[in-house]
A = this chain, B = another copy of it.
Amino acid sequence: MDFTSESAVTNADKTYIQLRNDIVEGRITAGTKLSEVELSTNYSVSRAVIREAINRLMACHLVERKANVGARVVTLSPEGLEQLYQVRESLEGMAARLAAKHMTDQEIADLQQLLNAHFDKQVQAGESYYQEAGDVDFHYRIIQGSKNQHLISVLVNGLYHLVRMYRVQLGMAGPRVTTAFDEHLHIVKAIANRDEELAEILMRRHILYSKNNVQTKLLNHSNLKGQ
């Protein structure tokens, strides 16, 4: 699940990752003010490393800071979700295009095998499996397959944490399991055929569908909370 296998050598690294997970997974709720002293006692580190962690969280749009005032965890909103998925559509579409160009035959074979494995598990677990891990795995591999460092960095180190935050906090389970799987199949097929154009189009459409799905969920969510 922590699909980046990021190496945390320094103390600031570890604190950043901890804090990030606590935010993404809702243990620190959206909109909360982040007090540096409070955090430094909670995480048992000095304010300096907390500040560095917060700076990194700003870089991936998980917190916002106003000078001399402080940092707050971002708040989730339908507009934010819309905009996030627009960027995903754009970047991951390009990633699929580049993956069709740059992935090795071996990598493509591995990807197909991954889908097969997920399909098996899905059958076993009664369709409830292919919701989180499988999807993330799939998208992550294609992003890596683009072999584009900027793309990889912006998506994996940046936006994907926010994506995960929306997913977790909206309690992503639900339909769209099987259909998403089929879409993944078609995308891989296009990549295997080295059809860059089609790979991009299919990926964009896939994310567009995904957006609509998540958006309705968000609306239900806020409706429930509103009552």
Chain A residues engaging chain B, CB cutoff 8 angstroms? 9-10, 13, 48, 51-52, 55-56, 59, 61, 67-68, 80, 83-84, 86-87, 89-91, 93-94, 98, 148-151, 153-154, 158-159
Contact = CB atoms under 8 A, between A and B. Distances in A.
A108 B118 CA distance: 48
A154 to B, nearest CB: 6
A10 B93 CA distance: 38
B83 A148 contact: yes
- Copies of this protein in the assembly total 2
A91 B98 contact: no
Contacts of A48: 48
A151 B87 contact: yes
13 contacts: A9-B67, A51-B52, A52-B55, A83-B149, A83-B150, A83-B151, A86-B94, A86-B151, A87-B94, A90-B90, A90-B91, A90-B151, A91-B91
B68 A9 contact: yes
Given A48-B48, A67-B13, A150 B55 contact: no
Q: Which of A55, A68, A84 has the most CB of B within 10 A?
A: A55
Contacts of A9: 67-68
Nearest to A92: B90
A153 B9 CA distance: 28
A158 B154 CA distance: 9
Contact of A55 (B55, B68, B80, B94): B55
A89 B56 CA distance: 26
A94 to B, nearest CB: 4
Given A13-B67, A55-B52, A150 B87 contact: yes
